[in-house]
Amino acid sequence: MNTRPPPSPSAAPPAWAAWLTALREPEVVLRWSLGDWQRIVRLGRRLRLLARLAARLQADGLLDQVPAPAQRHLVSELRLSGWRTTVMVRALERVAEQLQGADHPLVLLKGGAYIGQGLPIAAGRLPSDIDILVPQAALAGALSRLQAAGWVGAELDAHDQHYYEAWSHEVPPMHHPVHAVELDLHHNILPPVARTHVDAGLLLARLQPSSWPVWQVLHPVDQVLHSAAHLFLDSDLTDRVRDLVDLDGLMRHFGRPCADPAFWAELPRRARELGLAEPLALASHFTTRWLGTPIPLAVQAVIAMQGPSKARRAWLLPLLAAALTPTEPDAMPSRRQDLAALALLARYHRQRLPLRWLVPHLWHKMQTRNRVTHHGRDDGR
Amino acid sequence: MTTSPAPAAPNLRALQPGELARALAGKGLWIDLGAATVRVRSDSAVFAAQLGTVYGELPLADQGVWADTHIDIRRATGLRRWVRPQVVLWCDGQQPFEPFPADSPLPLFEWGCNWQIAHRLNDLLLLHAGAVERDGLALLLPAMPGSGKSTLTAALSQRGWRLLSDEFGAFDPQAGVFRAMLKPIALKNQSIEVIRAFAPQARFGPEFPKTRKGRVAHLAATADAVRRRHEPARPGAIVLPKWEAGSATRWEPLAEHVAFPALAFNAFNYTVLGEAGFRAAVHLMRVCPAWQLVYSDLDDALATIAATWPAVVQRHAEALR
């Protein structure tokens, strides 16, 4: 067994991340110069965190104290967020009507679930897709009901169709002529052939109600683990700081003193049970250091203990940190970040697919991309 | 809000060759359009020359604290620097659009800039309309495809009407006024010759024969429009133009149920603004008389608008009383 470092009280966040403090202590913005605001408006918008900041400032009555040039952009993003949320909620209500009466659970994941529970992190979101989880046996039925209601999948070639059917945990993203939002229908939270295989039955066994009668949500602990798994096993990490902000918000909310006292002890236990100890350890590492997430020290210790080995941490953490650190608005992505992104992309594909499938898949993607590029050049100016 | 340039700054047109290119390659150029400021940087000398022709009346501002959007036009690296060379648009560390050929950086900048404005300034209701001002009142020309909106806006802007924008009817719902979004007018295909013949004194940028939208040339805003770009305009009137080859000028009052969708459903961000957008559009319909203008002859079309204008001015003066 490797030795694990003792968890230390959260150190100061890296300099670039200092502004994120404003998401929980909004009065710090009163000290920002117009130059500070310029950088944060640009960076925050790209990271899809500007409306979150705006929502927090509005809730605390501080929006009027923001310098006018920046304030207009906060107002603008708040309106965008309000509209995107309205579109999402309307679509969710329609989909609920289309799927209700089914003899299986209907589960909202991620953004929809946060809105459905009225979580603090639902404020100022820019939702762009609905994520729904149903039992695998019910997938085909749910799909045909959605199609009958006007949801259509993207046109896929035979290769992509086969990829989704054989290897994916979701059906191809669906669109609707009325609803300006994408719908992703899942039967699991990670691909079934991924190295980290999650038993969806365990998730479905402890669902919770949401504020919509038709929709249920994952258990709070499972919501944290899903968010961590999605970020660290199933995503390109570029500009994904908002996922860390989500994780921070979920843990602060579900782990607050007046909430379920079993939450913190349950978190590492459940991570082990679902096979998600590593993504939880990574989430704990970055949220405590960058966002000061108040994970109790004893819990941090257990999470780190069951997480990646010292040798693995030594190469993985710097890569993840480089990929998660956003490029400054006026800079080009550094060589170091490019390399980190490339290395993590290799890891990502390796985790999702067995090699005997991965190599032909990437070959196909490369050829498709070449065709697209040629088209783009010939048609467009 | 915008950065005010120092009063003594020279106009871009007055700069020595190379001076503008140096500013663009340095900290950049802050282009104050009235309702928004764009900071632009570039390493392309071609772009510097093209930019100077259509923003020539703007004062040089080579440093600033604030811009509402930041655009870099960079020459492509690698093979694309030499073989069918390209220029690339960067915004806040991202490359949101496909590259353009290296000889066409201005259309890339104009197009990218408009896209950014349309998506970012939801504090304003951004109508898709030409907008000009006279007597403190805005005349709005909502766009329909092939309507000849740009041609008519360009013609008005050369005959005593102050150009606010060719693309954005930028309405500030809080203050109840239109603001200038003073970009060059992008004229397409035969409109270019029409305006060159109509206003020989007009300043044009270079012609781009093969863009996505056909042949394009940009008409620079006049010195007066640039100087007064921070003056707001109250809502005045709505004219829905329709260019029809060979037709006689027809001027007909427009019913509200036709004018409202032309105004609102054409806007860039009407749905995003939600209730605020609806209220603003209703307000504009209530205070602005609306006409349809079918035309083929520009002089006649302008004379028709001018003949009705005093009544518009009087109507608003009475409303204020």
| Cα A374 to Cα A376: distance, rounded to the nearest angstrom | 5
Task: List alpha helices for chain B, DSSP H.
Answer: 19-25, 45-54, 105-120, 149-157, 190-198, 223-227, 256-264, 270-273, 275-287, 298-320
- Residue owning tokens 């229908």: A185
Taking chain B (321 residues) in consecutive chunks of 10 residues, what is each chunk's mean pLDDT?
61 89 96 97 96 94 94 91 91 91 96 96 97 98 84 96 97 97 95 95 95 92 96 97 93 94 93 95 96 95 97 94 79
| Cα A30 to Cα A244: distance, rounded to the nearest angstrom | 24
**Strand-pair partners of A185:** A132
pLDDT recorded at residue A46: 96
Q: Is B1 exposed, middle or buried (0-12, 13-18, 19+ CB in 10 A)?
A: middle
pLDDT recorded at residue B144: 77
Of B246, B263, B245, the C-alpha closest to B254 is: B263
Q: Is any Cβ of chain B less than 8 angstroms from the Cβ of A86?
A: yes
Q: How many of the other CB atoms lie within 10 Å of CB of A37?
A: 22
A46 Cα to chain B: minimum distance (Å): 7
Q: Is any Cβ of chain B less than 8 angstroms from the Cβ of A328?
A: yes
* Residues of B whose CB is below 8 A from A333: 93
pLDDT tier at A370 (50, 70, 90 boundaries)? very low
Q: Is any Cβ of chain B less than 8 angstroms from the Cβ of A330?
A: yes
Query: Cβ–Cβ of A80/B65 closer than 8 Å?
Result: no
- Residue A369: pLDDT over 60: no
**Strand-pair partners of A269:** none
Closest CB to B122 among A42, A80, A331 = A80
* Residues of B whose CB is below 8 A from A38: 65-67
Token pair in block for residue A127: 């939702």
* Residues of A whose CB is below 8 A from B92: 42-43, 45-46, 329
Token pair in block for residue A274: 């679902």
pLDDT recorded at residue B146: 72
B271: nearest CA partner in chain A:
A83
Where are any strands of DSSP class E within chain A?
107-109, 129-133, 152-153, 174-175, 182-186, 208-209, 216-217
- Phi/psi for B182 (5° steps) reads -85, 85
| Cα B250 to Cα A202: distance, rounded to the nearest angstrom | 72
| Cα A193 to Cα A168: distance, rounded to the nearest angstrom | 8
Query: Cβ–Cβ of A332/B273 closer than 8 Å?
Result: no
Query: Cβ–Cβ of B1/A330 closer than 8 Å?
Result: no
Query: Cβ–Cβ of A68/B1 closer than 8 Å?
Result: yes
| Cα A151 to Cα A97: distance, rounded to the nearest angstrom | 13
Q: Which helix (H) or strand (E) holds A73?
A: helix A68-99
For testing the chain A interface, which of B120, B174, B216 should be mutated: the one with the most A CBs within 10 Å? B120
3-class SS at B151? helix
pLDDT recorded at residue A354: 58
Rounded to a whole number of angstroms, the distance between the first and last alpha carbons of chain B is 31
Token pair in block for residue B49: 């020359």
Residues present in chain B in total: 321
pLDDT tier at A356 (50, 70, 90 boundaries)? low
A333 Cα to chain B: minimum distance (Å): 7
What is the pairing mode between strands A182-186 and A208-209? unpaired
**3-state DSSP percent of chain B in helix, strand and coil, to 5:** 35, 30, 35
Query: Cβ–Cβ of A327/B93 closer than 8 Å?
Result: yes
Q: Is any Cβ of chain B less than 8 angstroms from the Cβ of A21?
A: no
For residue A294, give the amino acid letter: P
A128 Cα to chain B: minimum distance (Å): 14
- Residue A121: pLDDT over 80: yes
B124: nearest CA partner in chain A:
A76
Q: Is any Cβ of chain B less than 8 angstroms from the Cβ of A327?
A: yes
- Residue A132: pLDDT over 80: yes
Token pair in block for residue B112: 């990218």
Name residues whose C-beta falls within 8 Å of residue A330's C-beta, 6 or more positions apart in sequence.
B70, B93
Angle between helices A277-291 and A310-324 (to 10 degrees): 50
Half-sphere exposure of B199 (CA within 13 A, CB side): 23
Query: Cβ–Cβ of A381/B273 closer than 8 Å?
Result: no
For testing the chain A interface, which of B92, B108, B270 should be mutated: the one with the most A CBs within 10 Å? B92
Cα four-point dihedral sign A235, A239, A244, A246: negative
A42 Cα to chain B: minimum distance (Å): 6
For testing the chain A interface, which of B122, B208, B210, B279 should be mutated: the one with the most A CBs within 10 Å? B122
- Residue owning tokens 């402890």: A206
For residue A343, give the amino acid letter: A
User: Tens of pLDDT along A150-196?
Assistant: 999 876 677 666 666 666 777 889 999 999 999 999 999 887 656 77
User: Tens of pLDDT along A301-343?
Assistant: 999 999 999 999 998 999 999 999 999 999 877 777 777 777 7
pLDDT recorded at residue A164: 65
| Cα B183 to Cα B216: distance, rounded to the nearest angstrom | 14
pLDDT recorded at residue A347: 72
* Residues of B whose CB is below 8 A from A86: 274
Answer whether B297's CB lies under 8 Å from B249's CB.
yes
pLDDT recorded at residue A373: 38
B56 Cα to chain A: minimum distance (Å): 25
Of A366, A361, A340, the C-alpha closest to A349 is: A361
Q: How far is CA A197 from the centre of its chain?
A: 18
Q: Is any Cβ of chain B less than 8 angstroms from the Cβ of A38?
A: yes
Token pair in block for residue B95: 């490359």
User: Tens of pLDDT along B1-23?
Assistant: 455 555 578 899 888 879 999 99
Q: Is A64 exposed, middle or buried (0-12, 13-18, 19+ CB in 10 A)?
A: exposed
pTM (2 d.p.): 0.90
Query: Cβ–Cβ of A35/B65 closer than 8 Å?
Result: yes
What is the pairing mode between strands A182-186 and A129-133? parallel
Of B70, B72, B67, the C-alpha closest to B25 is: B72
User: Tens of pLDDT along A245-262?
Assistant: 999 999 999 999 999 999
Closest CB to A73 among B107, B120, B272 = B120
3-class SS at A241? helix
pLDDT recorded at residue A372: 41
Query: Cβ–Cβ of B67/A38 closer than 8 Å?
Result: yes
Q: How far is CA A193 from the centre of its chain?
A: 21
3-class SS at A357? helix
Residues present in chain A in total: 381
Domain residue ranges in chain A: 15-379
User: Tens of pLDDT along A4-53?
Assistant: 544 454 467 899 999 999 999 999 999 999 999 999 999 999 999 999 99
| Cα B83 to Cα A119: distance, rounded to the nearest angstrom | 53
